[in-house]
Amino acid sequence: MVEKYYDADADLGVLAGKRIAVIGYGSQGRGQALNLRDSGLDVIIGVRPGKSWESAIKDGLEVFQVSDAVQQADVIQVLLPDEDQARTYQESIRPGLSAGKTLMFSHGFNIHYGQITPPPDVNVAMVAPKGPGHLVRRLYEEGAGVPALIAIEQDAAGNARAIALAYAKGIGATRAAVFETSFREETETDLFGEQAVLCGGCSALIKAGFETLVANGYAPEMAYLEVCHELKLIVDLIYEGGLSKMREVVSNTARYGDLTRGPRVIGPEVYVAMQEVLEEIQDGRFAKEWILENQVNRPVFSALTRADEEHDLEVVGAEIRALMPQFKKS
């Protein structure tokens, strides 16, 4: 059984008198840092000058160059993009590490694939929220929390788990639930999830549905509303109460179509492709590809991103959202 932790299992006092440096102030950095601060913890930001720096200052946080933040911190949470972590670690984080400090991550990529090898006398832990950073913040403000995974890679000082749990409490995760895993399991399941289902599988499924309807002469607006807009409403039901709740709410006609046609669309060939995608994660092929892609300035990433930004689904989607007041930015 996976170990689970809640508020009562975590003691914020473990971080009393300790300074936390959140390195990076993007999606996770901002969400986690603001929650830690509002939980009464001593948090500073380490980032390079630019938009993120300005944004942290505007939020009222103390901001330093990465090396200066690491130097003065007891707990260092690395929330840089995965592809930048190894270089910044060597240049600006490693020199500031010393015995008893705790180095933390929200994703295991660089530790698991050997891009970062911390010294043996520091704790190495993970607190990985299972959701995007702006929701880590929004749910905390609402008095709830995004669940998180913790993992302990090195327990040099004997307090790595207590620190990880206190940090998880500080960001609001123990209000939901915190599950213990390993760096390997988090890395492989997280990459698989985002590639095969959450981001990759879902985008491909939406595009396939949109393109099929449009190719058969239906209006792009109808196609967008059907396969993209309404998807969120259906996923919300699954999030709240599983497939069963979604099936309770939709019509019997939809439910029968779901049960009989869904497995035809996601048929055996999809299982074969998912297995291949998983094996490329497990044997390091995906990691190598992504690391090399970054070394040559991301040509594949850029070309594929541009092609999808210009897809009719995106064009018509933006037009439709502009018509609805609920999507107006405040």
Which positions are catalytic? 107
Q: Can residue 190 be called a binding residue for Mg ion (CB under 5 A)?
A: yes
For residue 25, say whether it is annotated as part of any ligand binding site: yes
Q: Give whichever of 152 and 250 is closer to ligand NAD, judged by the CB atom.
A: 152
Site string for ligand XAI, 184-223 (x = CB under 6 A): ------x---x---xx------------------------
Q: Which does 60 bind (CB under 5 to 8 A by kind): ligand NAD, Mg ion, ligand XAI, none?
A: none
Q: Which residues bind ligand NAD (CB under 6 A)?
A: 24-29, 47-48, 50, 52, 66, 79-82, 84, 88, 106-107, 128-129, 132-133
Cα 319–chain centre separation: 28
For residue 48, say whether it is annotated as part of any ligand binding site: yes
For residue 194, say whether it is annotated as part of any ligand binding site: yes
For residue 98, say whether it is annotated as part of any ligand binding site: no
Helices (H) and strands (E) in the chain, counts: 16, 9
Residue 131 sits at φ, ψ, to 5 deg, of: 175, 165
Residue in the shown chain whose Cβ atom is closest to ligand XAI: 194
Residue 137 sits at φ, ψ, to 5 deg, of: -75, -50
Q: Give whichever of 106 and 123 is closer to ligand NAD, judged by the CB atom.
A: 106
Instruction: Give the 3-state secondary structure of residue 73.
Output: coil
Q: Give whichever of 10 and 127 is closer to ligand NAD, judged by the CB atom.
A: 127
Q: Can residue 82 be called a binding residue for Mg ion (CB under 5 A)?
A: no
Q: Give whichever of 48 and 255 is closer to ligand NAD, judged by the CB atom.
A: 48
Give one DSSP letter per residue of 153-222, joined into a string: EE-SSS-HHHHHHHHHHHTTGGGT-EEEE-HHHHHHHHHHIIIIIITHHHHHHHHHHHHHHHHTT--HHH
The answer to whether the CB of 166 falls within 8 A of the CB of 12 is: yes
Helix (H) / strand (E) element for 269: namely: helix 268-282
Contacts of 237 (CB under 8 A, 6+ apart): 245, 246, 249
What's the closest the beta carbon of residue 199 comes to ligand XAI, in angstroms? 6
Residue in the shown chain whose Cβ atom is closest to ligand NAD: 26
Q: Kindly indicate which of the ranges 70-78, 187-195, 207-215, 318-326 contains the residues binding Mg ion, using the contact rule CB under 5 A.
A: 187-195
Q: Give whichever of 49 and 120 is closer to ligand NAD, judged by the CB atom.
A: 49
The backbone region for 12, taken as left when phi is positive above 0, alpha when psi lies in -120 to 50, beta otherwise, is alpha
For residue 190, say whether it is annotated as part of any ligand binding site: yes
For residue 26, say whether it is annotated as part of any ligand binding site: yes
- CA neighbor of 168 nearest in space, from 35, 43, 59: 35
Binding residues for Mg(2+): 190, 194, 226, 230
Q: Which residues of this protein are in contact with ligand XAI, per CB under 6 A? A: 132, 190, 194, 198-199
